[in-house]
Amino acid sequence: MSAHTTEPRIEPATIEDLPQLVELLAALFSEEEDFKPDTAKQEHGVRMILEQPSRGRIFVLRTDHMVLGMVNLLFTISTAEGGLVILMEDVIVHPQHRRQGYGGRLLEHAIHYAREKRFKRITLLTDRISAESQAFFAKHGFQFSKMIPMRLLIDEAGR
């Protein structure tokens, strides 16, 4: 069977997926205002997650030959929830494979994983200006929070 007739499957990413994950992130960050693609940074970040499974998981949607999409789940502790929670990032499907339900499959897999492992909450950031991505997450049960994100970027010199 060719990759075109094989039903894509979701599984944990491996270090061998690193180049394709970095490519997907470049596509994602070129669509967002707050981030810019930087191959070295993305490779370093993905490698850190893959090499430290206690920090998080990256799940990929793949055929035998290609990674079509990914979702990144980072683990932390919430005092408000009294337990482990997930910060979900990098929900992306390759531009040529969108509108086929793959993003929904990745999202449902992430939610199932969180429930199975007894996480208390999944939090995500989505583009403020993208009504389409907001509607996508709302369709899967996500709700707006009264909290708003703020951030402080620390440069390499620690400032």
Is 68 domain-assigned?
yes
Distance CA 62, CA 29 (A): 21
Is 148 domain-assigned?
no
Distance CA 106, CA 123 (A): 15
Domain count, the chain: 1
Residue 1 is predicted with a pLDDT of 43
Per-residue confidence band for 130, with pLDDT thresholds at 50, 70 and 90? confident
Is 144 domain-assigned?
no
Q: Give residue 56's domain range.
A: 9-139
* Residue 115, C-beta contacts closer than 8 angstroms, at least 6 positions apart: none
Is 157 domain-assigned?
no
Of 115 and 1, the structure prediction assigns the larger pLDDT to 115
Handedness of CA 80, 118, 139, 108 (dihedral sign): positive
Is 29 domain-assigned?
yes
Is 154 domain-assigned?
no
75-128 per-position pLDDT tens digit? 999 999 999 999 999 999 998 999 999 999 999 999 999 999 999 999 998 776
Q: Percent of the chain beyond pLDDT 70?
A: 91
Residue 29 is predicted with a pLDDT of 81
Mean predicted confidence (pLDDT) in 11-38: 86
Is 69 domain-assigned?
yes
Order of strands across the sheet that contains 67-78: 9-12, 56-62, 67-78, 83-93, 122-124
CATH code at position 37: 3.40.630.30
Residue 36 is predicted with a pLDDT of 77
pLDDT at residue 153 greater than cutoff 60: yes
Residue 72, burial from CB neighbour count under 10 angstroms (0-12, 13-18, 19+): buried
Is 150 domain-assigned?
no
